[in-house]
Amino acid sequence: MSRFAVDPLLGIARAVLYIIMAVIGVATIVVAITVPGTAIFNGPVTAQLTAHGAPAWAVWPLLSLLSVVAGILSMAFMFFRHLKNIVDTVGEGDPFVPVNADRLAAMAWLAVAINVLGLVAAALGGWIAKLVHDVHGSVKIGTDFGGIVLILTLFILARVFRKGAEMREELEGTV
């Protein structure tokens, strides 16, 4: 009998995580290629920016924004890879292993970094919008309450998993 037949939720979760990772991976590659492409072919990009009223040096904040977005996407990929690995250990029947506590803590730190870089990206986007005199664009900079709750939950779950692994090791040692 297949794993999917035994626990369809884990099979669906694994499939969804693979799809998310594929989309983020492709987006990361596209943005990562765009950064040097924009630097190499900065003449046409600068021409477009100056046509919209921006100074010629506005290509540098744009390159910075693209680099930050590539970093955010890379971290998001790592976040979901950790989550997929945790789901895999659940499917194997042994989720309370020390490595899962480490994965949860890493996911929490990645969420912190993604939130901080999100603020940087929003600030850069707002600056670029002002440089090109974009009267229709608006950028809102702030923190996301859901992101803060996610970060706290991940740090707490990391401790729970670490304690669970320790308790299991102690129990195995007494038997």
13-44: pLDDT as tens digits: 999 999 999 999 999 999 999 999 988 888 88
pLDDT at position 135: 57
Distances in Å between the Cα of 149 and the Cα atoms of 18, 77, 143, 153 are: 25, 20, 11, 6
pLDDT at position 99: 95
Between 49 and 63, whose confidence is greater? 63
Using a pLDDT cut of 70, give the percent of the chain over it.
Answer: 91
CA atoms of 60 and 68, how far apart (whole Å): 12
Instruction: Give domain limits for the chain.
Output: 3-174
pLDDT at position 1: 44
142 pLDDT above the threshold of 80: no
CA atoms of 24 and 163, how far apart (whole Å): 32
Using a pLDDT cut of 90, give the percent of the chain over it.
Answer: 59
The answer to whether the CB of 20 falls within 8 A of the CB of 80 is yes
80 pLDDT above the threshold of 50: yes
Read off the pTM. Answer: 0.86
Alpha helices of the chain — where are they, by DSSP H? 3-6, 8-40, 42-51, 59-91, 98-131, 145-174
